[in-house]
Amino acid sequence: MSLVEMKGIHKYFQAVHALRDVDFHVGDNEIVGLIGDNGAGKSTLIKILSGLFPPDGGEMYIRGRKIGPKRYSVKRAHSLGIETVFQEQALGDLQPIWRNIFLGRQPTNALGLLDVRKAREEAHYVMTELMRFTGAGMSVDAPVRHLSGGERQGIAIGRAMYFDADLIILDEPTRALSVKEVGKVLDFISRIKEVGKSCVYISHTIIDVFNVSDRFVIMDRGEVVAERAREDASEASLIDLIRNTRT
């Protein structure tokens, strides 16, 4: 049984048929690279899985349980163990790291007030144990604005892991990052698999996604056009697949 299975998914935006009969699945403890050029339909598919958009056709199952599209939402996705980190991470630049980790889901004491001590202790656990931040002087009290792009991604991924997501979806997590910062993010993604979770890594940069993925799903113009296991693929073959879909 797959962790997530989507069957025959369709999505329309007025006259635009954005997704056409898409089948997509993710297994337990699996990293799936979802790749394709801009406009291929990757983000639309993931927004349906994340609860942002309802599908206009098809079926979706989470751990074998059929999900009714009218009752599915971002909040429902969270309750079912699905967390999404979009390109524009929802982080407060002026707020300390610990507040960002618990943004909207703060621990409270017996009086229902924010438990600052617990939040700081748990944030330290996220940074040191879950994500293994190694930056000198890194503190849970540091404002997010002082973090690099890769470290920001790490905080967003760590937040998803802390709230016990079974599936973490990353939308172009290495876009506009330096080579060094890309390396940090790939290390964070490897941690997802190390702790037994699954990940969908959306990208059009093959060299990044290839290093950490177990399987690749290639999309073009709203359709899944190919799938390859890592052992049956190379960076060059995946690039060729994408190029050939555009001919």
Q: Where do the domains of the chain lie?
A: 4-245
Give 15-60 pLDDT, tens digit per residue. Answer: 999 999 999 999 999 999 999 988 899 999 999 999 999 999 999 9
**Three-state DSSP string of the chain:** CCCEEEEEEEEEECCEEEEEEEEEEECCCCEEEEECCCCCCHHHHHHHHHCCCCCCEEEEEECCEECCHHHCCHHHHHHCCEEEECCCCCCCCCCEHHHHHCCCCCCECCCCCECHHHHHHHHHHHHHHHCCCCCCCCCCCCEHHHCCHHHHHHHHHHHHHHCCCCEEEEECCCCCCCHHHHHHHHHHHHHHHHCCCEEEEEECCHHHHHCCCCEEEEEECCEEEEEEEHHHCCHHHHHHHHHHHCC
Q: Which CATH number fits domain 4-245: 3.30.70.60, 1.20.1250.20, 3.40.50.300, 3.20.190.10?
A: 3.40.50.300
Give 165-201 pLDDT, tens digit per residue. Answer: 999 999 988 887 888 888 888 988 998 999 999 999 9
Give 125-158 pLDDT, tens digit per residue. Answer: 888 888 888 765 678 998 888 888 888 888 888 8
